[in-house]
Amino acid sequence: MPETAKPAAQSAGQKTLAVLEAALLNERFTDIVDTAQLPKSTVHRLLAFLVESEFITGDATDGYHAGRRFMTLAGRALSKLDIAALAQPIVDRLVADVDCTVHVGAVTGDEMVYLIRTDSSKPYRMRSRVGLAIPMHSTGMGKATMAYREEEFVRAYAERTGLPARTDATYTDVELLLEELARVNSRGYALDLGENEIGTVCVSAPIFNHRGEAAYGMSVSSILLEHPGTSIERLAPQAVAAANEISRLLGARI
């Protein structure tokens, strides 16, 4: 391609991507124009091209949506995502920042399964290990994800599991658990103050997938002697920020 043609080609590509992104975020033509910040005629022409190419579907009357070709490519890309590999660099930065053990876990049935455990520089070690399954209701990560489920899910979970006590601090009453989950949802993070293991505390944040589901959790964990009372809560902003960063990499709109 001649050098003089490169800027024009790049500009056309950038405009096409801008319209594609705008169409995926908005249904109405006027909103797509506003988001893409391009002339109506340009947007109309590029929308027609994207519809013909099956990256989007629809029209100005009924609205625009993701098309077959886009969904196929997106599905293949998402199927290849390895959250552990994706999250590890973010976890490493968080550990260096807070000098606490950081976990990432996945919702699996009624449990959270550890996918990542990265230790701090401290001499103590958590009892957790990658692959270990733990109850959702007694853990920070579990409560962080349950807080974004419907009440019916929580009640059904309580009926299935019986909310067994891991320590004297575990929530074993469904009404109290629902109250706690409402607080978690409101502030955006959960605390585990010795509910899963005596002497261990953590602050946890949900990680959302591309469908907006709280399918994973991240916890910053320590021991009660180092973080007495609720002092581990001071690390909530870092935990939430790191979890949100992973969520965005998974395709969530955070």
Which residue ranges form the domains of the chain, and what is each CATH number?
3-78 (1.10.10.10), 81-249 (3.30.450.40)
Range ranked top by mean pLDDT from 45-49, 72-76, 93-97:
93-97
Strands (E), the chain: 56-59, 63-66, 101-108, 111-118, 133-135, 190-193, 200-208, 214-223
pLDDT value at position 96? Answer: 96
Strand partners, 200: 223
**pLDDT for residue 8 is more than 60:** no
**pLDDT for residue 176 is more than 90:** yes
* 43-74 exposure pattern, b = at least 16 Cβ within 10 A, e = fewer: bbebbeebbeeebbbbeeeeebebbeebeeee
**pLDDT for residue 6 is more than 70:** no
Sorting pLDDT into bands at 50, 70 and 90, what band is 234? very high
**pLDDT for residue 220 is more than 50:** yes
Distance CA(121)–CA(167), nearest Å, equals 27
Question: What are the tens digits of pLDDT across the range 129-139?
Answer: 888 899 999 99
pLDDT value at position 83? Answer: 87
pLDDT value at position 5? Answer: 44
Distance CA(42)–CA(33), nearest Å, equals 9
* 118 class by beta-carbon count within 10 Å (0-12 exposed, 13-18 middle, 19+ buried): middle
pLDDT value at position 11? Answer: 81
Distance CA(1)–CA(10), nearest Å, equals 12
Q: What is the mean pLDDT of the chain?
A: 90
pLDDT value at position 4? Answer: 42
Average pLDDT over residues 188-213: 95
What share of the chain has pLDDT > 70, as a percent?
Answer: 93
**pLDDT for residue 183 is more than 60:** yes
Out of 46-55, 74-83, 161-170, 237-246, pick the least confident.
74-83
Question: What are the tens digits of pLDDT across the range 115-127?
Answer: 999 998 888 777 7
What share of the chain has pLDDT > 90, as a percent?
Answer: 65
How far does CA 15 lie from the centroid of its chain? 29
Out of 79-93, 96-110, 153-167, 224-238, pick the least confident.
79-93
Distance CA(98)–CA(174), nearest Å, equals 33
**pLDDT for residue 247 is more than 60:** yes
Sorting pLDDT into bands at 50, 70 and 90, what band is 3? very low
